[in-house]
């Protein structure tokens, strides 16, 4: 446990910018002739066959919330990860990688049952399988258990509570439910609120299953959606949680349900992103790039949203930065340490080549019954607007402000821990 160190102590009590909860795993990235079968038993046998012959370390990569921590550190944020890492070779690898990136690891081994099955304490592995068509398949032991992988963690450890108190943001997502009980996740959110720590929550693909899960899962999901300061979802995920097809209206509904929610951020994939607040809607188209691999793009995007939140950036600037960071990661191969470095993000911002499809935003805005202030990022200068509700924001000014801030910010990953 010596290397699982808490954030350093300091004056204001918030020395860590961003702490991630759970979802610490090692991705084993393999090229396969075909993706694993859909049937559960066949899929389990397939995974066990892979595990029987551990692949060379060159195929290993830090995965899960490590992607977010790496991307955030490369924007200059101070990051820590809260979760369980085993003592086997995979755990050592994960700790080495995080330490090299200057990211603290706070373990959650308190109150463990030493008589439990050894596998219950092993580092989670996620098999990331890529077929000849560059389609991805994922499987891990968490997919085949009715209980969370670390069900032996029955309450939030004291060291984890301290780490949350010392963090400005606590991030959690739906995959945390694969590792921890709903009560542990809800306790972490409550701890953050008590400490004045902002809560970010991304339900991800698990949102739909949690919505239809057992009572504890439903209650914990509702708890996270209602009490988070910032919600992050894809347009499909927003629709699945609200039954509203228009992503702006779905975001407005999630904002209405929340008691603390300040931002609802909708990821629109290749189209861009949207932020909904109580008084405004901001839309930012994506950047034109040659996509190589989309794994880790959402995590990179979230890192930039956290940066904008902490630095008090305008909504449209935050979205522009998040789109650039996500796009920069998509131009590389794989996630983990392969997420974009700052120089690639800066180049995309300087080019400012937006993938503008005006009709995308027009259709969404026209569907609004209420008329909040709407801002749309654009590279095309507009003298006035035929729509008094839409404010067209020139990308040149937004990029100029971002560059002046980012060009002097060294990446945390180049600083010794």
Residue with token string 């930012």: 284
On the question of pLDDT at 300 being above 90, the answer is yes
CATH number of 16-24+65-89+148-379+390-408: 3.40.1190.20
Q: What is the mean pLDDT of residues 109-129?
A: 71
User: Residue 401: enclosing H or E segment and its boundaries?
Assistant: helix 395-406
Tell me the C-alpha distance between 296 and 269, whole Å: 13
Least confident of 119-128, 230-239, 243-252, 395-404: 119-128
- 175 by DSSP, 3-state: which? helix
What number is the average pLDDT over the span 362-388? 73
Question: How far is it, in rounded angstroms, from Cα 333 to Cα 85?
Answer: 25
pLDDT reported for residue 393 = 93
Q: Residue 362 has what pLDDT? A: 80
Q: What percent of the chain has pLDDT over 90?
A: 64
SS3 385: coil
| 16-52 pLDDT per residue, tens | 999 999 999 999 888 888 888 888 888 888 888 887 8
Residue 234, beta-bridge partner list: 267
**What is the mean predicted confidence (pLDDT) over 256-277?**
96
Strand 104-106 with 79-82, pairing: parallel
Contact, 260 vs 273, CB < 8 A? no
pLDDT of residue 281: 94
Collapse the DSSP code of 138 into the 3-class scheme (helix H, G, I; strand E, B; otherwise coil) and give the result.
strand
Query: In the chain, helix, strand, coil percent, each to 5?
Result: 45, 20, 35
Residues making up the chain, counted from first to last: 417
What integer pLDDT is reported at residue 131 of this predicted model?
Answer: 84
Decide: pTM greater than 0.85: yes
User: No. of H helices and E strands in the chain?
Assistant: 14, 15
Residue 335 has a pLDDT of: 83
Helix (H, G, I), strand (E, B), or coil: what is residue 113?
Answer: coil
**Does the structure show a pLDDT above 70 at 394?**
yes
What are the E-state strand segments in 131-217? 136-139, 167-173, 198-202
Q: Return the higher-pLDDT residue of 1 and 262.
A: 262
pLDDT digits (tens, 9 = 90+) for 61-83: 999 999 999 999 999 999 999 99
Greater pLDDT, 203 or 121: 203
């Amino acid at each position: 446990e010596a290397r699982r160190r808490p954030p350093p102590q300091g004056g204001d009590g918030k020395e860590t910018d961003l702490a991630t909860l759970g979802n610490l795993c090692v991705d084993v990235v393999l090229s396969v002739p075909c993706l694993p079968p859909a049937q559960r038993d066949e899929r389990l046998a397939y995974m066990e066959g892979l595990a029987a012959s551990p692949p060379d370390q060159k195929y290993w990569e830090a995965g899960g919330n490590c992607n977010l921590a790496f991307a955030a550190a490369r924007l200059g944020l101070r990051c820590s990860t809260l979760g369980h890492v085993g003592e086997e070779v995979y755990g050592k690898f994960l700790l080495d990688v995080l330490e090299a990136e200057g990211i603290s690891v706070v373990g959650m081994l308190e109150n463990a049952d030493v008589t439990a099955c050894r596998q219950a304490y092993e580092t989670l592995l996620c098999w990331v399988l890529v077929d000849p068509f560059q389609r991805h398949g994922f499987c891990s032991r968490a997919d085949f258990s009715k209980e969370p992988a670390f069900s032996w963690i029955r309450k939030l450890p004291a060291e984890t509570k301290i780490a949350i108190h010392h963090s400005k943001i606590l991030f959690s997502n739906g995959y945390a439910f694969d590792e921890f009980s709903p009560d542990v996740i809800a306790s972490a959110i409550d701890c953050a609120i008590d400490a004045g720590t902002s809560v970010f929550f991304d339900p991800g693909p698990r949102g739909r299953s949690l919505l239809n899960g057992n009572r504890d899962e439903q209650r914990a999901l509702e708890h996270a959606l209602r009490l988070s300061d910032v919600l992050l979802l894809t347009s499909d995920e927003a629709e699945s949680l609200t039954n509203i097809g228009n992503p702006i209206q779905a975001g407005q509904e999630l904002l209405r349900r929340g008691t603390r929610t300040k931002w609802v951020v909708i990821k629109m994939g290749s189209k861009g992103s949207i932020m909904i607040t109580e008084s405004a809607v901001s839309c930012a188209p994506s950047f034109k790039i040659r996509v190589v691999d989309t794994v880790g793009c959402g995590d990179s995007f979230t890192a930039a949203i956290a940066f904008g939140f902490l630095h008090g950036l305008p909504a449209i600037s935050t979205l522009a930065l998040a789109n650039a960071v996500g796009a920069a990661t998509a131009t590389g191969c794989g996630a983990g340490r392969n997420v974009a470095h700052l120089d690639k993000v800066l180049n995309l911002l300087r080019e400012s080549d937006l993938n503008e499809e005006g009709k995308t935003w027009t259709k969404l805005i026209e569907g609004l019954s209420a008329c909040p202030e709407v801002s749309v990022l654009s590279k095309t200068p507009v003298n006035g607007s035929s729509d008094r509700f839409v404010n067209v924001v020139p990308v040149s000014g937004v990029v100029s402000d971002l560059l002046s801030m980012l060009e002097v910010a060294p990446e945390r990953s180049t600083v010794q821990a």
